[in-house]
Amino acid sequence: MTIQKIMVIGAGQMGSGIAQVCAQAGFEVILNDREQQFYDRGIQTITKNLSRNVEKGRMTEDQKQAVLSNITKSLSIEDANDVDLVIEAAVENMEIKQSIFKQLDEITPKHTILATNTSSLPITEIAAATNRPEQVIGMHFMNPVPVMKLVEIIRGLATSDEVYTAIEEMTKKLGKTPVEVNDFPGFVSNRILMPMINEAIYTLYEGVATKEAIDDVMKMGMNHPMGPLQLADFIGLDTCLYIMEILHEGFGDSKYRPCPLLRKYVKAGWLGKKSGRGFYSYE
């Protein structure tokens, strides 16, 4: 099962990062988004990242241009009609993902592997929207994609060994470390990370300590590179809430109940760094 041509759906923070690492590894990449402005923003991010590598002597200007030349623009999902792999990095919403996968199942060749970068949604449920569930798999990249080495590879109920092996080998070609994970809500990373963030929010909510103190305890006491409240701001509080709701619904356990303060901030539009304000101010 040879992978040469890849479509990445979604030119946002995750999608543009995935497209960059695939293009750097020599794959032919089609970067797809619904609107020109989103595609342009994604390419600007990739170009900025590569230019920084040139400035730091990690690559030459010629190598940078070679990476950019591996990326082709797409504003139509129909352009997936001759790819070997699709990596979907659209919004974290089951209905939207199932709609995309249903279309991809009809558009792509029979051999094409359909992967999702979901951070918490069940792979088996996404695969059920297709007639090829054995060729559907999860590839959960970490943010920022060009820097972080881990990729959680999640098997759905029907994912074949052949497809898993192909994705594992392809992940290694990207210079990443693949880790096999079974299809449970939140997988491994977010099943552990999000309850920790949620507990930090409860600690603030209950007045145990200030946000700065909570983050300092985890940074200096537990050697975390970033405090949990600052990390939540960088992830997006709406994303944190959504994943906690997935965990709460999926396991039916009260320990995954989202903190009321998290709900309040999201309702206020305080989503973290992307909105200019979360637990901290970024204006």
CATH of residue 62 = 3.40.50.720
pLDDT tens-digit map of 117-133: 999 999 999 999 999 99
Whether residues 247 and 195 share a domain: the answer is yes
Mean pLDDT of the region 101-105: 98
Query: Do residues 163 and 90 share a domain?
Result: yes
Residue 40 has pLDDT above 90, yes or no: yes
pTM equals 0.92
Task: Find the mean pLDDT for residues 76-103.
Answer: 97
Q: What CATH number does residue 259 fall under?
A: 1.10.1040.10
Mean pLDDT in residue range 52-66:
96
Which active-site residues does the annotation give? 119, 140, 152, 190
Query: Is position 7 annotated in a ligand binding site?
Result: no
Question: 50 in a domain, yes or no?
Answer: yes
Domain count across the chain: 2
pLDDT above 70: percentage of residues in the chain: 100
> Number of C-alpha atoms within 13 angstroms, CB side, residue 4?
2
Per the structure block, which two tokens stand in for 26?
């020599």
pLDDT tens, residue by residue, 172-229? 999 999 999 999 999 999 999 999 999 999 999 999 999 999 999 999 999 999 999 9
Q: In this structure, is residue 283 part of a structural domain?
A: no
Nearest to 18, CA basis, from 54, 42, 51, 38 = 42
CB 120 within 8 A of CB 247: yes
Q: Is 11 known as a binding-site position?
A: yes
282 falls within a domain? no
Last residue of a domain, one of 146, 181, 216: 181
Q: Specify whether 163 is located in the same domain as 87.
A: yes
- pLDDT-based confidence at 1, cuts 50/70/90? confident
List C-alpha distances in Å: 22 to 6, 171, 247, 249: 8, 9, 31, 34
Of 128, 153, 181, the residue that ends a domain is 181
In 3-state terms, what secondary structure has residue 206?
coil
Question: Do 203 and 160 share a domain, yes or no?
Answer: no
Residues 240 and 103 in one domain: no
What would the mean pLDDT of 59-66 be, rounded to a whole number?
96
252-278 tens-digit pLDDT: 999 999 999 999 999 999 999 999 999
Please check whether residue 236 lies inside any domain of the structure: yes
Considering the domain boundaries, does residue 281 fall inside one?
no
What is the reported pLDDT for 64? 97
Residue 283 in this model has a pLDDT that exceeds 90: no
Is 26 annotated for ligand binding? no
The annotation status of 196 as a binding-site residue, yes or no, is no
Range of the domain at 9: 5-181
